[in-house]
């Protein structure tokens, strides 16, 4: 049934954090003192670094000293190790915290007791966006990090000096953050807990909308409704770049005041599309870019897989709408060879190539394994660590089907992340379904046992992919002595 989004405002049950009336405003021309509870996280540290560059006084706490906290200290931040109420000294103007921080946290409780203004990480990011002429948000169930990184490479090729915050390590910027000029801000926009509803974009890219984060969202309809609310944050001056491959995309864009630009597989339904897609010996695609069904240039990608053709089309559409010449777009995409943990080559051991990939959703897994088929190998091994019990239970059949793309699957125990096991679900269950479907699966709970199994069974010429959003990367790194 089609949802009438235009006339549905009064009955919405969805939370829109971005409409808080008491939001503390962050203005770059009025630098203040900001305290971060959990300053060492990859996202929090990036935001702290931007504020440092803008002249703010930055302090915060974390459990342990890390490379990220040392980097912040070298740039002038004051970091306390261990979270205590006494860390909140006089003169702090606003406190920032993540969803992992609970009200009984001593610093959170102290900030509340003092009546200090408080922002979530997402709210801070949204406030920071207000300080840029163009705030480009990249959203979707998957592909956000890669597409944001592609855009960053394009903007760098065009000398547009972007500020970038990305959810992985991008070699071109030497990390997950780049502080640039006041015109362009490129950021991932995550849907989990409706974080992206705290943002203030001038341009959005929506790559895809699939069932995920079902520990927070009720179902796919719930997720789609949140993405619709996200799209509604754009006014008549904004631009929505959206995949025409999204199911019932028409209901996502109906009645929006902003400009809508489409990309996708069908050139008749998409302003930006690709034709004559071919792959080199390592599975890297090249294609003819079509704009309004007319050839507009030849694109060569430095990353693998058909899914990256469509990630690149989203980046191309956004860049073109922002005035980047096609030649610079092509140059930037050619230079992009991937972000950290996105089909990242870790090394070789005994003639076995070890790759690491962040894929943790069935569609991502299927895309990565399909891309790997084009990479030279004898046998394709996938060491998969499911991420969260709720995702595993909700998408069990889809996981098994996607993992059939590997010749051999090794299943580690589920990475719990923020959850406890109340569902009685196990990685073994995925293995049983793979076996029932005619595939080969091995449930091996511990990393040490997995490493031994790999050394005993992989042979020269095999391709081994460690896969998941948890800490499965440690398996390959230990084998390689990294």
Beta strand 184-188 with 463-467 is unpaired
Q: Active-site residue among 145, 147, 165, 202?
A: 145
pLDDT band at 115 (very low <50, low <70, confident <90, very high): very high
Q: Active-site residue among 54, 69, 107, 144?
A: 144
- Strand ranges inside 5-81, DSSP E: 33-37, 57-62, 78-81
Rounded to whole angstroms, how far apart are CA atoms 195 and 122?
A: 6
Contact in structure between 90 and 65 (CB atoms under 8 Å):
no
Q: pLDDT at position 99, please?
A: 79
The yes-or-no verdict on residue 6 having pLDDT over 50 is no
Beta strand 380-384 with 463-467 is parallel
pLDDT tens per residue across span 196-215: 999 999 999 999 999 888 88
Q: How many CA atoms lie within 13 A of 306 on its CB side?
A: 15
Convert 384-409 to b/e letters by CB count within 10 Å (16 or more is b).
bbbbbbbbbbbbbebbbbbbbbbbbb
Rounded to whole angstroms, how far apart are CA atoms 412 and 383?
A: 7
Q: pLDDT at position 23, please?
A: 80
Q: What is the mean pLDDT of residues 310-328?
A: 97
Q: Encoding tokens for residue 217?
A: 């969202």
**CATH top-level class of 344-480:** alpha beta
- Cα 56 vs. chain centroid, distance in angstroms? 27
Averaged pLDDT of the chain:
92
CA dihedral 313, 318, 320, 321 (to 10 degrees): 140
**CATH top-level class of 30-120:** alpha beta
Q: pLDDT at position 22, please?
A: 64
Contact in structure between 202 and 224 (CB atoms under 8 Å):
no
pLDDT band at 18 (very low <50, low <70, confident <90, very high): very low
The yes-or-no verdict on residue 21 having pLDDT over 70 is no
Contact in structure between 332 and 158 (CB atoms under 8 Å):
yes
pLDDT band at 61 (very low <50, low <70, confident <90, very high): very high
Rounded to whole angstroms, how far apart are CA atoms 5 and 12?
A: 10
pLDDT tens per residue across span 62-96: 999 998 999 999 999 999 999 999 999 999 999 99
Q: pLDDT at position 174, please?
A: 86
Q: What residues contact 23, with CB distance under 8 A and at least 6 apart?
A: 119, 123, 127
Q: Domain boundaries in the chain?
A: 30-120, 132-335, 344-480
- Written in H, E and C, the secondary structure of 203-246 is EEEECCCCCCCCCCCCCHHHHHHHHHHHHCCCCCCCEEEEECCC
Which of 330-333's residues contact partners 24+ apart within 8 Å by CB, and which partners? 330/297, 330/298, 330/299, 330/300, 331/157, 332/150, 332/153, 332/154, 332/155, 332/156, 332/157, 332/158, 333/150, 333/153, 333/154, 333/299, 333/300, 333/301, 333/302
Q: For residue 409, which phi and psi values (nearest 5 degrees)?
A: -120, 130
pLDDT tens per residue across span 301-318: 999 999 999 999 999 999
Rounded to whole angstroms, how far apart are CA atoms 348 and 458?
A: 12
Q: Which of 12, 213, 45 is nearest to 121 (CA)?
A: 45
Q: pLDDT at position 169, please?
A: 83
Known active-site residue 392: no
Q: What is the mean pLDDT of residues 318-343?
A: 94
Known active-site residue 78: no
The yes-or-no verdict on residue 282 having pLDDT over 70 is yes
Rounded to whole angstroms, how far apart are CA atoms 438 and 8?
A: 47
Task: Give Rg (Cα) of the chain.
Answer: 23
pLDDT tens per residue across span 222-281: 999 999 999 999 999 999 999 999 999 999 999 999 999 999 999 999 999 999 999 998
Q: Active-site residue among 123, 127, 153, 188?
A: 188
Known active-site residue 188: yes
> How many other CB atoms are found less than 10 A from the CB of residue 297?
14
The yes-or-no verdict on residue 11 having pLDDT over 70 is no
Q: What is the pTM of this model?
A: 0.82
Superfamily of domain 132-335: Mur-like, catalytic domain (3.40.1190.10)
What interhelical angle do 306-321 and 144-157 show, nearest 10? 50
Rounded to whole angstroms, how far apart are CA atoms 201 and 409?
A: 41
81 DSSP β-pair partners: 62
């Amino acid at each position: 049934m089609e949802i009438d989004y235009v006339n549905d405002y009064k009955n919405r049950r969805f939370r829109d954090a971005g409409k808080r009336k008491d939001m503390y405003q962050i203005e770059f021309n009025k630098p203040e003192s900001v305290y971060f509870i959990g300053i060492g996280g990859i996202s929090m540290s990036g935001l702290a670094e931007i504020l440092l560059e803008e002249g703010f006084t930055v302090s915060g706490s974390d459990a342990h000293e890390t490379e990220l906290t040392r980097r912040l200290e070298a740039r002038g931040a004051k970091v306390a190790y261990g979270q205590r109420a006494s860390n909140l000294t006089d003169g702090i103007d606003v406190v920032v915290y993540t969803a992992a921080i609970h009200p009984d946290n001593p610093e959170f409780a102290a900030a509340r007791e003092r009546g200090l203004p408080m922002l979530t990480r997402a709210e801070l990011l949204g406030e920071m966006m207000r300080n840029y002429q163009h705030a480009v948000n990249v959203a979707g169930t998957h592909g956000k990090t890669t597409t944001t990184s592609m855009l960053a490479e394009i903007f760098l090729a065009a000398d547009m000096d972007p500020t970038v915050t990305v959810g992985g390590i991008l070699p071109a910027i030497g990390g997950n953050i780049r502080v640039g000029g006041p015109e362009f801000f490129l950021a991932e926009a995550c849907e989990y807990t409706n974080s992206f509803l705290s943002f203030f974009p001038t341009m959005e890219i929506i790559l895809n909308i699939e069932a995920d984060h079902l520990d927070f969202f009720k179902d796919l309809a719930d997720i789609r409704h949140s993405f619709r609310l996200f799209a509604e944050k754009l006014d008549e001056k904004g631009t929505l770049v959206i995949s025409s491959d999204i199911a019932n995309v028409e209901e996502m864009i109906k009645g929006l005041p902003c400009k809508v630009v489409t990309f996708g597989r069908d050139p008749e339904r998409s302003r930006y599309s690709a034709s004559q897609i071919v792959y080199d010996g390592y599975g890297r695609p090249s294609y003819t870019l079509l704009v309004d069904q007319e050839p507009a240039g030849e694109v060569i990608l430095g990353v693998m897989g058909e899914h990256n053709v469509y990630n690149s089309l989203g980046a191309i559409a956004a860049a073109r709408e922002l005035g980047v010449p096609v030649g610079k777009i092509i140059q930037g995409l050619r230079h992009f060879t991937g972000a950290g943990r996105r089909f990242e080559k870790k090394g070789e051991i005994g003639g076995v190539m070890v790759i690491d990939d962040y894929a943790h959703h069935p569609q991502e897994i299927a895309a990565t394994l399909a891309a790997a088929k084009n990479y030279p190998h004898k046998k394709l091994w996938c060491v998969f660590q499911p991420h969260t019990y709720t995702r595993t239970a909700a998408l069990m059949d889809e996981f098994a089907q996607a993992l059939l793309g590997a010749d051999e699957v090794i299943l580690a125990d589920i990475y719990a992340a923020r959850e406890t096991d109340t569902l009685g679900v196990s990685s073994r269950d995925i293995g049983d379904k793979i076996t029932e479907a005619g595939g080969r699966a091995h449930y091996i709970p511990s990393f040490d046992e997995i490493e031994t199994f790999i050394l005993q069974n992989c042979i020269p010429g095999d391709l081994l992919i460690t896969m998941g959003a948890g800490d499965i990367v440690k398996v390959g790194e230990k084998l390689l002595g990294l």
